[in-house]
Amino acid sequence: MKPMNPYIKNLNRIEFLITLACTGRCKHCSEGDHDGCHTAIDADAAASLVTKVAENYNIQSLMTFGGEPMLHPETVYAIHRAARDAGIPKRQLITNGFFSRDERKIRTAAEMLIQSHETYIRPLPTLPDAWADGSYTGLAARG
């Protein structure tokens, strides 16, 4: 492998902040209020970057997070597919799990996550202040 930058020698992890937009409204959030944030990073550019960096460094893990990254699922999928195709063994998604009330959209997102071979999904352990009550149940996949 030939490093892209001679000053970066031990790069083994890539992290992407997908968006600052969030469904939470958590008082403890260090990011603050992002009501005007609705955009995400460019999916194609990010996926291309994953491919190029993985060709030049021994990348062992990749993480996507936000705001709420699943507000832009196509971006998350593109990045994780590129990581899978590049042979990055550990692929993580940090999400609060609350990106839609539409059951069809949630099922589609779960299926696409499975297809992109996420190896680790980490739901945040607290309920956002925007939720009056609620619960979280696991997601299981076969095969």
Q: Which two tokens stand for residue 125?
A: 């352990």
- Label residue 120 by pLDDT band (50, 70, 90): low
CB 27 within 8 A of CB 131: no
- Biggest alpha carbon–alpha carbon distance for the chain: 52
- Percent of the chain, pLDDT > 70? 68
Kindly tell me if the per-residue pLDDT of 75 is higher than 90.
yes
pLDDT, tens digit, 9 for 90 and up, residues 31-65 = 656 666 778 999 999 999 999 999 999 999 999 98
Which has more confidence, 57 or 127?
Answer: 57
Q: What is the mean pLDDT of residues 77-104?
A: 85
Kindly tell me if the per-residue pLDDT of 9 is higher than 70.
yes
Q: Which strands sit side by side in the sheet containing 13-17, from one edge to the other?
A: 13-17, 61-65, 90-95, 120-123
Helices (H), the chain: 43-56, 73-85, 103-115
pLDDT, tens digit, 9 for 90 and up, residues 88-100 = 999 888 877 667 7
